[in-house]
Amino acid sequence: MNKASLLLENQLCFRLYTASRLITQAYHPLLSEHGLTYPQYLVLLVLWERDAQPVNDIAKRLYLETNTVTPLLQRMEKEGILTRRKGKDDARQIIVSLTKKGKDLQETLCDVPSEVGGSVICDSVNPETIPDLFRMLDDMIEQLKQQ
């Protein structure tokens, strides 16, 4: 057995987990002043790209289960950010749409990506290397989805 493989410093998963946690933490002050959590912000990003989507499509886009997304959407509906209604063709389908408040948040939060993005810039991560980093992470995500 190779004991070095069990050292925390040799774990890719730990580095990814730590980076994810710290980036999410960087979003917190920017979103909380608008009463939003990071998962709610992700839902908004999906709906700003294309409004009026089924819950299933939102969940797929976020790589989450619908039973994880549903309570999140319910809270956002109570806060007046979006509405949920039964589909016209299939009453079992729930369509999620932004309210005026949800649409207005797009302009309010438009600087958030650059503010958080600026906090990750360092020697090895910069505007020139970010496309390669995205490609590597996308490849890893695709590989893991197939497992």
The tens place of each residue's pLDDT in the chain, 147 residues long, gives 788 999 999 999 999 999 999 999 999 999 999 999 999 999 999 999 999 999 999 999 999 999 999 999 999 999 999 999 998 888 789 999 999 999 999 999 999 999 999 999 999 999 999 999 999 999 999 999 998
| Domains recognised in the chain with CATH numbers | 36-109 (1.10.10.10)
Q: What pLDDT does 86 receive?
A: 93
Alpha-carbon distance of 108 to 136, in angstroms, equals 31
Alpha-carbon distance of 107 to 105, in angstroms, equals 5
108 Cβ neighbours under 8 A, 6+ residues apart: 34
Could you report the per-residue pLDDT of 95-127, keeping only the tens digit for each? 999 999 999 999 999 999 999 999 999 999 999
